[in-house]
Amino acid sequence: MFPDLFSIGPLIIHTYGLFMAAGFFVGIIVTLKIGKLEGISPQQIMDMGFIIILSAIVGSRLLYVLLNITYYSHEPVEIFKMWRGGLVFSGGIIGVIMAMFRYSERRNLSLWKIGDLWAPAAAVGQAIGRIGCFMAGCCYGKPTDLKWGVVFTYPNSLAPINISLHPTQIYSSILGFIIFFILLIIRSKKKFEGQVFLWFLILHSTARLAIERFRGDDRGMLLNSNMSITQFVTIFILIASVVALMVLKSKGSKQSEIQ
């Protein structure tokens, strides 16, 4: 594909970084529109957006580095070369939740409300960002003889070249857009705070577990099992989200009965 879109002298525009930036931009636009409907000021959304972007990048990069610690312990400078790919979305989610928990405490806001506000943005942002993954060749799939298999030929691609592979990045992108539209429907029928956010985690985690079986890049196995660390983290998030959704739904039903 095209890891490097074009260059102007020494300045190289990396396709991966460009699509990541586009994903963040679209996510901000979506959240501004939702925030307007909920009476949240654009300035507050931009403030949260800055924190979310920073914590998402740090969290997703940190988890990727930990999954590939053997390589990065010998090549520490490579940790900062994020334009070559290497972000784990689950790590970004954890980073954002931790940052927003602190933010919600300081601003006396509901963490669930913040989650509902930004969940659609996370889905559409990831969907766009995965296109950048595809262009760079990172997060590539296992070899396949299916008709829609893709062959990377660019010498600097992060994926193995001249081999038909599952387009796992495109799988993720398509599912991301589908999840985005589902979340908009859920939001229009929302009955309690946290509903949209938790459904995002459930849908994303389910999609991620389905796609993981087709991934061909090194996933970092958990101890001596056949489960990758990413799968373990995703399963944990999925179970916790289902339990939290059931608890919040139960509380919402009880409050409705009292009223």
User: Residues 98, 100, 101, 105: is their CA dihedral positive or negative?
Assistant: positive
pLDDT band at 199 (very low <50, low <70, confident <90, very high): very high
Please state the rounded mean pLDDT for residues 123-128. 94
pLDDT tens-digit profile of 217-235?
876 666 666 777 778 888 9
Whether the pLDDT of residue 90 is over 90: the answer is no
Give the HSE-up count for residue 211: Cα atoms under 13 Å, Cβ half-sphere.
24
pTM of the model: 0.84
Residues 201, 237: contact at Cβ < 8 Å? yes
* Residues forming beta bridges with residue 240, ordered by sequence position: none
Distance of CA 145 to the CA centre of its chain: 28
| Mean pLDDT of all residues belonging to the chain | 87
Query: What is the distance between the alpha carbons of residues 1 and 173, in angstroms, rounded to a whole number?
Result: 16
pLDDT value at residue 201: 94
Domain limits of the chain? 4-250
Whether the pLDDT of residue 89 is over 80: the answer is no
Please state the rounded mean pLDDT for residues 86-108. 85
Whether the pLDDT of residue 258 is over 80: the answer is no
43 or 157, greater pLDDT: 43
pLDDT value at residue 189: 92
pLDDT tens-digit profile of 49-85?
999 989 988 888 888 888 778 788 888 888 887 666 6
Element (H, E) at 164: strand 164-165
Whether the pLDDT of residue 12 is over 60: the answer is yes
pLDDT tens-digit profile of 129-139?
999 889 888 88
